[in-house]
């Protein structure tokens, strides 16, 4: 892996649940993120997938300091940014920018596109001298494939895909090293998604960006990611390179998730093995003991209720090596191919 630029260790975010008005007392906690570790290399893309409520967006917010972690550390180039404040924090935040999911609500409707993309320069005036800003904004519009003449238009004059380009241009303004993108294409139409994904691909090589790409769509995550982490109820349950996760999953949750994704190939219908999970994700206020996935797991045994499985390379695979030897938090990890292999030679 490339030189690490961001190291996350035991990241925790609990939201307290309180009762009473005058004598507030804590009666529990929403354990949104409950011990997450990962490392992001320079210029690399880490995909984080999971279903709604798994805590992936909360992780994103902590990375860009929109939420303060309850515990744990986020090291940017070795420095723990959760302990920084004031000027030092501001300097770091310049290098970690965010692109949001919803291009309809994440742009201020009363600001022109030029003001939206230029706003980061107001906050970090050292990034561009005042006289230079308009030109910089126009350059940014050009970089994301929009007409530089559009600077004086308002967000409502753009389509969803174009708005997401504006959001990306704003994220790029300060020339960050890391972009955290939370579901950046899920609000877009299919034909537009591809345009934005291709743009993000291009920008990554052009500006040597590292992405943390958060999404629920497993196909898109595979397309864009070098490494993937699968989250369930506030924890990463399996992580590895895209091939390791998609072609050699060992955690039952990953297997179920992958087997449930509809593949746009009707011929795969009969060849596919579906793992249907029973029930719903438990509430993060009341996380099951032991393995948190055991209540829906088709493999759960007694041991799973008492012993928390650690995210590590399972012993039986460690010696053998190969693509199955990647971190998986399951006592009974075993490889199972669930993504049908392509028959025809791929789309023309």
Partner 1 sequence: MLLEVRDLHVEFRTRDGIAKAVDGVDFAVDAGETLAVLGESGSGKSVTAQAVMGILDTPPGRITGGEVLFQGRDLLKLKEEERRRIRGAEMAMIFQDALSSLNPVLSVGDQLGEMFVVHRGMSRKDARARAVELMDRVRIPAARERVGQYPHQFSGGMRQRIMIAMALALEPALIIADEPTTALDVTVQAQVMELLAELRREYRMGLVLITHDLGVVADVADRIAVMYAGRIVESAPVHDLYKAPAHPYTRGLLDSIPRLDLKGRELCAIKGLPPNLTAVPPGCAFHPRCPMARDVCRTDVPPLYEVTGTDAARRSACHFWRECLDG
Q: Which positions from 322 through 341 interact with partner 1, judged by CB under 8 A?
A: 339-341
Residue 331 φ/ψ, nearest 5 degrees: -70, -25
Q: How far is the CB of 215 from partner 1 (least distance, A)?
A: 11
Quote the tokens at residue 160: 């969803």
Q: How far apart are CA 324 and CA 342, in angstroms?
A: 20
Does 261 bind partner 1 (CB under 8 A)? Our answer is yes
Alpha-carbon span 121 to 13, nearest angstrom:
31
Among 122, 132, 189, 273, binds partner 1 (CB under 8 A): 189
Query: Which residues ranging from 64 to 123 are in contact with partner 1 (CB under 8 A)?
Result: none
CA-nearest of 327, 326, 325 to 311 is 327
* Closer residue to partner 1 in complex, CB, 115/335: 335
CA nearest to 103, candidates 183, 179, 49, 47: 183
Q: Does 156 bind partner 1 (CB under 8 A)?
A: no
Contacts of 148 (CB under 8 A, 6+ apart): 138, 139, 141, 142
Residue 25 structure tokens: 């007392």
Residue 153 binds partner 1, judged by CB under 8 A:
no
Single out the residue of 80, 122, 265, 307 in contact with partner 1 (rule: CB under 8 A): 265
Interaction between residue 271 and partner 1 (CB under 8 A): no
Site string for partner 1, 31-60 (x = CB under 8 A): --------------------xx--------
Cα 49 to Cα 46: distance, rounded to the nearest angstrom: 10
242: contact with partner 1 by CB under 8 A: yes
Phi and psi angles of residue 306, each rounded to the nearest 5 degrees, phi first: -110, -30
- The nearest distance, CB 327 to partner 1, in angstroms, is 20
For residue 283, the number of C-alpha atoms closer than 13 Å in the C-beta half-sphere is 5
Kindly list the residues in this chain that would bind partner 1 in the complex (CB under 8 A).
51-52, 159, 161, 189-195, 197-198, 201, 216, 218-220, 222-224, 242-243, 246, 256-269, 274, 276-277, 279-281, 339-342, 344, 346-348
């Amino acid at each position: 892996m490339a030189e690490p630029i961001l190291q996350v260790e035991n990241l925790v975010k609990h939201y307290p649940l309180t009762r009473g008005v005058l004598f507030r007392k804590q009666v529990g906690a929403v354990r949104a993120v409950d011990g997450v570790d990962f490392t992001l290399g320079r210029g690399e893309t880490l995909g984080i997938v999971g279903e709604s409520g798994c805590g992936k967006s909360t992780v994103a917010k902590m990375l860009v300091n929109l939420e303060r972690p309850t515990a744990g550390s986020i090291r940017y180039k070795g420095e723990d940014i959760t302990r920084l404040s004031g000027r030092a924090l501001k300097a770091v935040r310049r290098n970690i920018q965010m692109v949001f999911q919803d291009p309809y609500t994440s742009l201020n409707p009363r600001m022109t596109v030029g003001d939206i993309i230029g706003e980061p320069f107001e906050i970090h005036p050292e990034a561009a001298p005042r006289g230079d800003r308009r030109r910089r904004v126009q350059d940014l519009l050009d970089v994301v494939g929009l007409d530089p003449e559009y600077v004086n238009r308002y967000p409502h004059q753009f389509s969803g895909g174009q708005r997401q380009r504006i959001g990306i241009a704003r994220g790029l303004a300060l020339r960050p090293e890391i972009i955290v993108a939370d579901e950046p294409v899920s609000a877009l139409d299919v034909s537009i998604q591809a345009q934005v994904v291709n743009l993000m691909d291009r920008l990554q090589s052009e500006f040597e960006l590292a992405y943390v790409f958060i999404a629920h769509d497993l196909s898109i995550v595979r397309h864009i990611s070098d490494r993937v982490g699968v989250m369930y109820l506030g924890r990463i349950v399996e992580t590895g390179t895209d091939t390791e996760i998609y072609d050699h999953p060992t955690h039952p949750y990953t297997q179920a998730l992958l087997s449930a994704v509809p593949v746009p190939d009707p011929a795969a219908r009969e060849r596919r093995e579906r793992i249907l999970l029973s029930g719903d994700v438990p509430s993060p206020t009341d996380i099951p003991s032991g393995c948190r996935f055991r209540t829906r797991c088709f493999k759960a045994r007694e041991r799973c209720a008492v012993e928390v499985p650690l995210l590590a390379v399972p012993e039986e695979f460690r010696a053998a090596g190969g693509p199955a030897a990647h971190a998986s938090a399951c006592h009974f990890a075993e490889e199972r191919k669930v993504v049908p292999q392509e028959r025809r030679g791929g789309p023309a």
